[in-house]
Amino acid sequence: MKEEHLNLLFGTPLFSKINKEDLQSLLTCLKPHSRTYEKGSYITHTGESINSIGVVLSGTVQMLKEDVWGNKSILAVMREKSIFGETFVCSRVYNSTVSFQAASDCTIMFLSFERILHSCSVACDFHHRLIDNVVVLIAQKNIQLMEKIEITAQKTLRDKILVYLSREAQRNGSLYFTVPMGRLELADYLCADRSALSRELSRMKEKGLIDFDRNTFRIYEHVE
């Protein structure tokens, strides 16, 4: 494995509390393989079988729900060091009900879920730690999807925007932050029309509720 990939994996939540030497031994068991994708390309399509967990080594991946007419809704965004596909392989529902798409040029490392879930004959402590980490990450993904439901359940587009930006501010630990989506992607995520989203953002900026420059936002502490 490339040293740069090993260093990236070492810093991921999936391998939290596993030292680098143990990680090298663990990867020998997991037999990972990596692949690069250009922005906009699909990693998997709805209905395809998923047998591996994807680890985002670089770039951003989106989980998409698409209908028969081609309309898309962004369910979740996986940034660098995140995992995806774990829900389907863990539930044994291998045929995916969503698509995963590269939101930017990205490199993905795939790991066999069977090899993750079932420790080898050595039954090393760090493999047990890996299984614990997977459970935690699945729980966090569920929370992320619950946040999506909370955001889209808001009655007005302005409320959807404010709740989304509030979550991003909390995630970044700052009222000044950059979101991982452009206007079209954000509109898909909020289940809104792109033009309506742009108009509402402009109104909110005029009222002094927020400020922004492309994907970089600032929200103010006192929002009515």
User: What is residue 94's predicted lDDT score, i.e. its pLDDT?
Assistant: 61
- Residue 145 contacts residue 75 (beta carbons within 8 Å): yes
Please measure the distance between the N-terminal and C-terminal CA atoms of the chain and give it in whole angstroms.
52
129 and 187 co-located in one domain: no
Per-residue pLDDT for the chain (224 aa), expressed as one digit of tens each?
567 777 788 878 999 888 888 888 888 778 788 999 999 999 999 888 888 899 999 999 999 998 777 788 899 999 998 999 887 777 666 678 899 999 999 999 998 877 877 766 655 677 888 888 988 888 888 888 899 999 999 999 999 999 999 999 998 999 999 998 999 999 999 999 999 999 999 999 999 999 999 999 999 866 45
35 and 139 co-located in one domain: yes
Residue ending a domain, choose from 104, 121, 143: 143
Residue reference for tokens 């898309």: 72
85 and 116 co-located in one domain: yes
Question: What is the tally of structural domains in the chain?
Answer: 2
192 and 159 co-located in one domain: yes
Task: State the pTM of this model.
Answer: 0.79
108 and 201 co-located in one domain: no
User: What is residue 173's predicted lDDT score, i.e. its pLDDT?
Assistant: 93
Residue ending a domain, choose from 113, 143, 173: 143
Which domain, by its residues, includes 49? 3-143
What CATH number has the domain bearing residue 87? 2.60.120.10
Report the side by side order of strands in the sheet with 83-84: 33-37, 106-112, 52-58, 83-84
Q: Read off the amino acid at residue 154.
A: Q
